[in-house]
Structure 1
Amino acid sequence: MEQHDEKIYQIVQDINEAIYSMDSHFVKVYQHLVTDDLSAKQMILLDFINKNSNVTIGQIAQYLNITSSAVGQLVSKLEEQNYLSRRINPENRREIFVQLDVAGVKYFEKEEEIRRFIVSKYYSKLEMGELEQLKFIVEKLSGIVLKESALDEE
């Protein structure tokens, strides 16, 4: 069984190295297209808000696993740069929604443009069946990770 575990470990290492190498290449080659000087936490916050509508400070705090005060500071800094804006929930005036502002929308428009370019330049070289297999495997692994993570939290 140990030899089997070692083989799995090596295969996963090879996969991770290939993905890291590919991602590093994309960052080096395309970083000039994204001029935004954002921290990793700021990018994660923007991505969360982009994928969810009517996000509150509390929801962001829970997602990032930080205090509401820390979220307020992050949001304020991004608000100064026009990435985010806040608005009062008309149904509950004590609740504030955070949403993308002009610079935030532009950030994701540029990101989409880069993604489409990468797909056309690289992924389009794969056969449709290979892409479907890759998608299936990645989604299956993601499901396993999320299921196991949920079990760990119980």
Structure 2
Amino acid sequence: MEPSNRNIEMGSRHLGRLFMQFKQLERHPRVFGEAGPLTPSEIHTIDAISCESGILMSELAARLSVTKGAVSQIVKKLESKQLVQRTPHPEDSRAVMISLTEKGIIAFQAHRELHQNFYKELSDQLNQDEIQIFEKCIQKLTELLKKE
């Protein structure tokens, strides 16, 4: 069944409101445990590093879909907040590994907990069919946004 013009218009409005809320969230730092206030860019960089033993700058840039220069700037900020550390690569003297400090791990865990609590709260309001539809919609929306 083809969606009506009215459905398309309403859906477009809802998406616009959702995007505006995401944009507002991007402007406001949030406190993540002992790590203190972090911007969404900072906490998502921490999340991309995660609790692995370390990641190369180039891998981090690819994971975040940003330039190495942009990653370098945010890593510098996170380093000054004692959330990440740089160490020489064990096999390549030209490469630098980025890893989380203890304080960074606390922020990472607090961020994960925030997402899990949000998803649990959302899923408590939906039945299993609605959860599957929601997850499919998120997947499709993500695919569409990658095309832009």
Contiguous gaps of at least 5 residues in structure 1: 150-154
Q: Which amino acid aligns with 1:75?
A: V
**Distance in 2 (alpha carbons) for counterparts of 1:19 and 1:72:** 27
TM-score by length of 2: 0.69
Instruction: Give the RMSD, CA atoms, in angstroms.
Output: 3.6
Deviates more, 1:12-21 or 1:122-131: 12-21
Contact 1:57 1:71 in 2 (8 A): yes
Q: 1:117 to 1:72 in 2, by over 3 A?
A: closer
TM-score by length of 1: 0.67
Partner of 2:144: 144
Partner of 1:115: 115
One of 46, 64, 67 as aligned partner of 1:65: 67
Q: Which amino acid aligns with 2:98?
A: V
Q: 1:38 to 1:110 in 2, by over 3 A?
A: same
Contact 2:31 2:37 in 1 (8 A): no
Give the SS at the match of 2:38: coil
Give the SS at the match of 1:90: coil
- For this pair of structures, how many residues does the alignment match? 140
Contact 1:49 1:98 in 2 (8 A): yes
Contact 1:81 1:103 in 2 (8 A): no
By how many angstroms is 1:36 displaced? Answer: 2.4
**Distance in 2 (alpha carbons) for counterparts of 1:19 and 1:128:** 26
Give the SS at the match of 1:87: strand
Larger-Rg structure = 1
**Distance in 2 (alpha carbons) for counterparts of 1:50 and 1:137:** 26
Contiguous gaps of at least 5 residues in structure 2: none
Partner of 1:133: 133
Q: 1:18 to 1:88 in 2, by over 3 A?
A: closer
